[in-house]
Amino acid sequence: MTKNELEEHGRTLGIELDRRLTKSVLIDQLNEHLSTPEENLDPIYEDAELEEEWGQADIEHPLMPVDAFVAPIAEEIFVDPIQAIQAEKDARRGVHNQSEMVRQAEEKYQILRDKRINAEVLELKAHTEVEVARKNLSSVQKAWEDSKELL
């Protein structure tokens, strides 16, 4: 399997694999997940039948504070917790990627700004040299003209 195929297969088994890792690490993670007994899994996923009943009657979500009010879930709206977790991971990854793009753009801007400033400094130095050279030229021309008159 390719890394993409391993990632897709892992999702069907309830594990999210990171394709940035090597293929052998992905396979090891998948094998470890498959060998993990179900009693060690997070209690949120132990009984999928309770998912629809959270917030109703006497059933409490394992992570929900006891005194928190939970609105009943409409029957036609069911959020698969695995999909919700995956969506959160994708969103987190998207925020991280965008933050990195902003950092890189700011770094590029800083480099270009520094180059522009350096170019302006060099331009001013060159302009000053041109002015000095023109003054020297005019003084040399005047000296030449004066020497021609003496002849």
The answer to whether the pTM exceeds 0.85 is: no
pLDDT bin (cut points 50, 70, 90) of residue 1 is confident
d(CA 42, CA 13): 15
H or E segment to which residue 117 belongs = helix 81-150
Domain boundaries, the chain: 1-36
Encode pLDDT of 65-111 as tens digits. Answer: 556 555 555 556 677 888 888 889 999 999 999 999 999 999 999 99
